């Protein structure tokens, strides 16, 4: 068959109907070669369902199934379509071989979609007429109607019946999150595993974004205030550094030291409380570009830098002031769940030295400190990346298989 357009008022009158495809052939349908015009018409009546059987309409595929030809035509080099009961679907030169069972599967799928759409349109038309003609005039007697909810509607919208949707509008995204949020208690009972996986995915995405932001900030210059804001927005990073259940109480908190003239306040960058013991921890934030080591003291040994020892002394002074004033601060701030059993201090500063001698000097110095934990910015990022690996789907799947 050489399908053509048969509408005289069209510019492509008598031109190929499915450009660039010129011909459609059938193989394995046991059709007897016709020997007269009437025999040709009889033969056309035996064409498979989905084909045009009237030559006056130019032959080819029925209009509702034209999308089959459109899809194949996207391969610009195809000139012939062969629908076969004997061969598997494949591309061979300028011919697209389409197995008849594949043709039937697609045709029936299109028919189902079309039938469903027609049915949905009929419901919408009925609702429109009811609301416009009855509800608008007699709302008490004829309340407004809405499209009935169909089970799996959300699933179909998101998954596209086995084909993932490419995009969701902002409104759709917010609505989907709202549904999960409102139904979280029910979902935790009916679908605990799925809810756990969703939580893992959300945590992983959040972690990815934070790691990306940290890497960008480490590659450029930022002030202490900017780094403090980052940790204020993401307090769990500090909990990760401690390895303990830490609750952030706030940033830029006064711990005492005010003189009679109003000056001298000691301001700690962060005050944290252990969620189990209520013991407090002080955190001082510097910048990744702060130096950790000073000049060489002996061969292979470096002294700590003034920035590092200054930061340590600063946080120890803040601890001293807090210990003296904690009772007053608890009463004034109405925070009864603060304890100063053994106030720990943390300084986040600089980057790990790159030379073996520098690494050794830093480790010897900071591990000799009893009450101050010194953590570098790149160590924090490394911990976050390790957490990302722990949460990654590939690792979880591997553990399940093992």
Query: Smallest Cα–Cα separation from 318: which of 280, 375, 363, 360?
Result: 280
Q: What is the DSSP string of 116-168?
A: HHHHHHHHHHHHHHHIIIIITT-TTTSPPP-PPP-TTHHHHHHHTTTS--S--
| Cα separation, 297 vs 299, whole angstroms | 7
Q: What is the DSSP string of 50-85?
A: TB---GGGTSSB-GGGHHHHHHHHTSTT--EEEEES
pLDDT at 263: 45
- Spell out the domains of the chain, with CATH numbers in brackets: 1-148 (no CATH), 219-389 (3.40.1350)
Query: Smallest Cα–Cα separation from 312: which of 347, 342, 272?
Result: 347
Q: Please give the structure tokens belonging to residue 357.
A: 């001698």
| Cα separation, 311 vs 286, whole angstroms | 8
| Cα separation, 25 vs 389, whole angstroms | 54
Q: What is the DSSP string of 218-250?
A: HTS---HHHHHHHHHH-THHHHHHHTS-EEEEE
Query: Peptide bond before 20: cis, by omega within 30 degrees of 0?
Result: yes
pLDDT at 260: 40
CA 62 from chain centre, in angstroms, equals: 41
pLDDT along the chain (402 residues), means of 10: 86 86 91 83 87 86 91 92 94 94 92 87 89 89 80 52 50 65 68 66 73 87 86 74 56 51 58 77 88 87 93 89 77 69 86 92 92 89 82 56 50
Instruction: Taking each helix axis as running N to C, give the angle between helix 66-73 and helix 100-130, from 0 to 180 degrees, rounded to the nearest 10.
Output: 120
Q: Which residues contact 111 (CB under 8 A, 6 or more apart)?
A: 64
| Cα separation, 213 vs 207, whole angstroms | 10
CA distances from 321 to 161, 256, 274, 317, 362 (A): 64, 5, 20, 6, 28
| Cα separation, 108 vs 110, whole angstroms | 5
The sign of the CA dihedral 285, 280, 312, 350 is: negative
């Amino acid at each position: 068959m050489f399908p053509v357009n048969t509408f005289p008022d069209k510019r492509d009158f008598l031109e190929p109907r499915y450009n660039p495809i010129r011909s459609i052939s059938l193989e394995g349908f046991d059709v007897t070669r016709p020997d007269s015009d009437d025999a040709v018409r009889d033969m056309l009546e035996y064409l498979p369902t989905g084909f045009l059987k009237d030559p006056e309409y130019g032959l080819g595929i029925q209009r509702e199934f034209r999308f089959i030809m459109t899809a194949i035509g996207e391969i610009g080099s195809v000139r012939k379509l062969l629908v076969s009961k004997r061969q598997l679907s494949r591309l061979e030169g300028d011919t697209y071989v389409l197995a008849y069972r594949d043709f039937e599967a697609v045709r029936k799928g299109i028919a189902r979609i079309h039938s469903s759409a027609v049915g949905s349109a009929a419901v919408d038309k009925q609702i429109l007429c009811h609301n416009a003609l009855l509800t608008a005039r007699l709302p008490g007697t004829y309340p407004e109607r809405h499209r009935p909810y169909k089970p799996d509607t959300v699933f179909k919208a998101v998954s596209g019946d086995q084909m993932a949707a490419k995009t969701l509008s902002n409104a759709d995204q917010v609505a989907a999150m709202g549904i999960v949020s409102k139904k979280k208690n029910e979902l935790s009972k009916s679908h605990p595993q799925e809810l756990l996986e969703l939580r893992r995915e959300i945590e992983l995405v959040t972690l990815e974004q934070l790691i990306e932001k940290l890497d960008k900030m480490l590659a450029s210059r930022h002030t202490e205030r900017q780094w403090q804001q980052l940790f204020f927005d993401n307090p769990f990073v500090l909990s990760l550094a401690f390895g303990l259940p830490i609750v952030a109480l706030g940033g830029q908190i006064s711990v005492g030291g005010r003189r009679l003239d109003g000056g001298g306040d000691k301001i700690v960058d962060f005050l944290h409380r252990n969620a189990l013991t209520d013991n407090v921890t002080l955190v001082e934030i510097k910048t990744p570009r702060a130096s950790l080591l000073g000049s060489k003291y002996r061969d292979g040994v470096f002294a700590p830098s003034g920035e590092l020892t200054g930061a340590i002394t600063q946080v120890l002074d803040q601890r001293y002031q807090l210990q003296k004033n904690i009772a007053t601060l608890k009463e004034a701030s109405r925070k009864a769940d603060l304890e100063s059993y053994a106030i720990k201090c943390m300084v986040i500063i600089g980057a790990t030295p790159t030379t073996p001698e520098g690494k050794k000097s830093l480790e010897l110095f900071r591990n000799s400190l009893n009450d101050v934990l010194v953590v570098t910015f790149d160590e924090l990022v490394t911990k976050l990346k390790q957490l990302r690996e722990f949460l990654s789907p590939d690792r979880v799947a591997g553990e399940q298989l093992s």
